A and B are shown apart, each in its own frame.
Chain A
Amino acid sequence: MTSVILATATRYLMPMLLLFSAFLLFRGHNLPGGGFIGGLVAAATFILHSLVFGVGETRKILRVRPVKLMGLGLLIAMASGLVGVFTRAPFLTGKWYELVLGQGDKWHVGTPVFFDVGVYLVVIGATLIIILSLAEED
């Protein structure tokens, strides 16, 4: 039942959707968006892929088990909270640092972003576990 139109469109859509999910993730720091919604978009991308090419193919391009994404996400989110602890502040205190990139460029980076990245991975992992297992059931 695979339609050529859908398969071709999916090939073009997937990179864009993944970029969009990353955009949502990083935009969420100051504006609407964030790890949760970004993760959902990323998961939707892989679900679209699985609808077109089958669950087996999707698991192949994912390379890691979704459950490991969850574990990794939880650890990243927790580590972002621990940064505060190591600077003698309570757990989950937000810390911001300036990374000098050279040529006058600076990267203003804070722990909340990493917390969001953790959420992003957990959401992708959890959504994919649920939907891919359901899709395999038939």
Chain B
Amino acid sequence: MKLLLILPIILPLTTAAVGLLCWRSIRAQQVIGLLGAGGLLAAAGSLLHGVWQNGPMALQLGNWPAPFGITLAADLFSAIMVVLAALMGFTVALYSLATVDPRRVRYGYFCFYHFLLMGVCGVFLTGDLFNMYVWFEVMLMASFVLMALGGEKEQLEGAIKYVTLNLISSAVFLTGLGILYGMSGTLNMAHLATVLPQSEHPFMVTTVAMLFLVAFGIKSAVFPLFFWLPASYHTPPVAVSAIFAGLLTKVGVYSLMRVFTLLFMGDVAYTHTLILIIAGFTMVTGVLGAAAQGEFRRILSFHIISQVGYMIMGLGLFTPLALTGSVFYIMHHIVVKTNLFLVSGVARLLGGSYRLERLGGLSLSAPGLSLLFAVSAFSLAGIPPLSGFWAKLILIIASFKDASYLIAATALLVSLLTLFSMTKIWAAVFWGEPAVAADPQPLSGRRRAALYVPIILLALITVTIGLGTGPILTLAERTADQLIDPRAYIRAVLGSVQ
């Protein structure tokens, strides 16, 4: 049972290590990469099942008791995030077979890909703040390499911005950790949750909360700390963009939601209102930024920012319904956004470019792809009955119930502008005259399968979430309940110590 908690970390580690042993053999790395991702997906699925059945679980690494050793803990939120990470890990690994060139694979693309997944799962599963910092670093190191691997000029430029901003964020995170440890003498999250409310310096707790807000804010690309994202996400190979877009900012959002539901609850009127304001600005700037872009992946990158706004809007409102909306939104967004990036890669293969003005007429030459794009794009914009509609609906109902009309209006307006952006891509890429492709590459059957199977799978999930909202909503509701009332989580971690 407890093995389930560690499997999402040691499976990618094993995969990456075996990949290192098969260095230079492209075929072996591809097979191992895909098998490892499949294994991770299975492990993540059983973890979610276990947490759903038995409530939050905790594992004390090395058998050191809770506030002293490193704890791994999974409540429903962690388990959902691990499942999403594994799902994206698997689909994008499959997609990588067709899109990542042999040279990059030879230099360890799949190894770093799995180190990245290990870091991401580690952040989701850890119950200790310093350990979370370590997992962040594991994830960032791997992402730095993936970002720069291949060494194209544009890539390196993007990588420099990405690395610099993320290092600043790590430094701020570490500063916050230092102050927090000096103040409370513990970094175990469950223990902190019991210690912080009795702190003698509530204003210091709020100060630390702001440091964490900045650190995780940079990582999740919220206003006004988002500028590294659109400057870098369009530079690496599309599979890398897709996995980054799907997972990395959401790791920041996860951390924000974790610390601002479990730890920093002393001054909700101040901290969470600030988060709500940031959410509004994030939505608006992201979507306006997207409207000004003319490159497929840059438009999508700006939309990540605007969507992150929706996710932390639920956190800012901080009611059970709003948190349900946030969790639902994250589930919907990761699937849809990754899929849109995957579609952009296929459009690039068929049309020879990411620039909107150089693409066109794909609805004639690739009607299937157009349909798949439409599913994800309309879902992103929130057209019923797709997943994005329900996600936005829950959040907007929550904001009306909370009498936060301004944020509700912002959310509605932004979703209209999202539709505008998606229509722009649709009109430029799929309608119009077929553009003359620079090098229309004929696709072999297997390559075509590796390209389309992930996209179809993710589109089906989007539709399923949209049509079968009930079970997903129940899942999100129970997750939100656990976030609002973390007693079960704390009990799982601290056990009898409390």
Q: Does A19 contact B (CB under 8 A)?
A: no
Q: Does B2 contact A (CB under 8 A)?
A: yes
Which residues of chain B come closer than 8 Å to A85, judged between CB atoms? 3, 6
Bound-complex Cα distance A67 to B394 (A): 50
Chain A, residue nearest B17 (CB): A74
Instruction: Please indicate which of the listed interface residues B2, B13, B21 has the most CB atoms of chain A within 10 Å of its own CB.
Output: B21
Bound-complex Cα distance A70 to B21 (A): 8
Bits for A59-74, please: 1 = Cβ < 8 Å to B, else 0. 0000001011011101
Chain A, residue nearest B6 (CB): A91
Q: Does A89 contact B (CB under 8 A)?
A: yes
Chain B, residue nearest A125 (CB): B20
- Mostly, the A contact residues are helix
Which residues of chain A come closer than 8 Å to B63, judged between CB atoms? 84, 89-90, 93
Q: Does A94 contact B (CB under 8 A)?
A: yes
Bits for B5-46, please: 1 = Cβ < 8 Å to A, else 0. 010001001101111110100000000000000000000000
Tell me if B61 and A71 are in contact (CB < 8 A).
Answer: no
Chain A, residue nearest B111 (CB): A71
Which residues of chain A come closer than 8 Å to B62, judged between CB atoms? 84, 90-94
Tell me if B20 and A90 are in contact (CB < 8 A).
Answer: no
Task: Select one of B18, B23, B59 contacting A75, CB under 8 A.
Answer: B18
User: Beyond A68-B21, A70-B20, is A92–B14 a contact (Cβ under 8 Å)?
Assistant: no
Minimum C-beta distance from A81 to chain B (A): 8
Q: Does B60 contact A (CB under 8 A)?
A: yes
Which residues of chain B come closer than 8 Å to A89, judged between CB atoms? 63
- Segment 64-113 of A: residues with Cβ below 8 Å from B: 65, 67-68, 70-72, 74-75, 78, 81-82, 84-85, 89-94
Tell me if B17 and A78 are in contact (CB < 8 A).
Answer: yes
User: Beyond A74-B17, A93-B62, is A67–B2 a contact (Cβ under 8 Å)?
Assistant: no
Chain A, residue nearest B62 (CB): A92
Bound-complex Cα distance A64 to B2 (A): 37
User: Beyond A85-B3, A90-B60, is A78–B10 a contact (Cβ under 8 Å)?
Assistant: yes
Chain A, residue nearest B70 (CB): A92
Minimum C-beta distance from A65 to chain B (A): 6
Instruction: Please indicate which of the listed interface residues A71, A81, A91, A92 has the most CB atoms of chain B within 10 Å of its own CB.
Output: A91
Bound-complex Cα distance A68 to B62 (A): 27
Tell me if B61 and A92 are in contact (CB < 8 A).
Answer: yes
- Mostly, the B contact residues are helix
Minimum C-beta distance from B239 to chain A (A): 22
Tell me if A71 and B10 are in contact (CB < 8 A).
Answer: no
Instruction: Please indicate which of the listed interface residues B13, B14, B60, B62 has the most CB atoms of chain A within 10 Å of its own CB.
Output: B62
Bound-complex Cα distance A85 to B5 (A): 12
Instruction: Please indicate which of the listed interface residues A68, A70, A72, A92 has the most CB atoms of chain B within 10 Å of its own CB.
Output: A92
Which residues of chain B come closer than 8 Å to A84, judged between CB atoms? 62-63
Minimum C-beta distance from A129 to chain B (A): 10
User: Beyond A84-B63, A91-B61, A94-B62, is A75–B17 a contact (Cβ under 8 Å)?
Assistant: yes
Tell me if A74 and B10 are in contact (CB < 8 A).
Answer: no
Which residues of chain A come closer than 8 Å to B59, judged between CB atoms? 90-91
Bound-complex Cα distance A90 to B19 (A): 26
Tell me if A91 and B21 are in contact (CB < 8 A).
Answer: no
Tell me if A78 and B61 are in contact (CB < 8 A).
Answer: no
Which residues of chain B come closer than 8 Å to A65, judged between CB atoms? 23
Tell me if B20 and A68 are in contact (CB < 8 A).
Answer: yes
Bound-complex Cα distance A93 to B108 (A): 31
- Segment 33-75 of A: residues with Cβ below 8 Å from B: 65, 67-68, 70-72, 74-75
Bound-complex Cα distance A67 to B61 (A): 28
Tell me if A78 and B13 are in contact (CB < 8 A).
Answer: yes
Which residues of chain A come closer than 8 Å to B23, judged between CB atoms? 65, 67-68, 71
Task: Select one of A71, A93, A94 contacting B19, CB under 8 A.
Answer: A71
Bound-complex Cα distance A91 to B17 (A): 18
Minimum C-beta distance from B305 to chain A (A): 35
Bound-complex Cα distance A72 to B23 (A): 12
User: Beyond A84-B63, A90-B61, A90-B63, is A74–B20 a contact (Cβ under 8 Å)?
Assistant: yes
User: Beyond A68-B20, A68-B23, is A75–B14 a contact (Cβ under 8 Å)?
Assistant: yes
Bits for B207-237, please: 1 = Cβ < 8 Å to A, else 0. 0000000000000000000000000000000
Task: Select one of B2, B10, B14, B21 contacting A72, CB under 8 A.
Answer: B21
Bound-complex Cα distance A92 to B64 (A): 10
Which residues of chain B come closer than 8 Å to A91, judged between CB atoms? 3, 6, 10, 59, 61-62
- Segment 343-388 of B: residues with Cβ below 8 Å from A: none
Which residues of chain A come closer than 8 Å to B19, judged between CB atoms? 71
Known contacts A90-B6, A91-B3; can you find 16 more A-B pairs with CB under 8 A?
A: A67-B108, A68-B20, A68-B21, A68-B23, A71-B20, A71-B21, A71-B23, A74-B16, A74-B20, A84-B62, A84-B63, A89-B63, A90-B61, A91-B6, A91-B62, A93-B63
**Residues of A near any B CB (own CB < 8 A):** 65, 67-68, 70-72, 74-75, 78, 81-82, 84-85, 89-94
**Residues of B near any A CB (own CB < 8 A):** 2-3, 6, 10, 13-14, 16-21, 23, 59-63, 108
Which 10 pairs of residues, A with B, have the shortest CB-CB distance?
A71-B20, A74-B17, A71-B21, A93-B63, A92-B62, A91-B6, A71-B17, A75-B17, A67-B23, A92-B61
Could you list some 7 contacts between A and B, CB below 8 A?
A: A70-B20, A74-B20, A75-B21, A78-B13, A85-B6, A91-B6, A94-B62
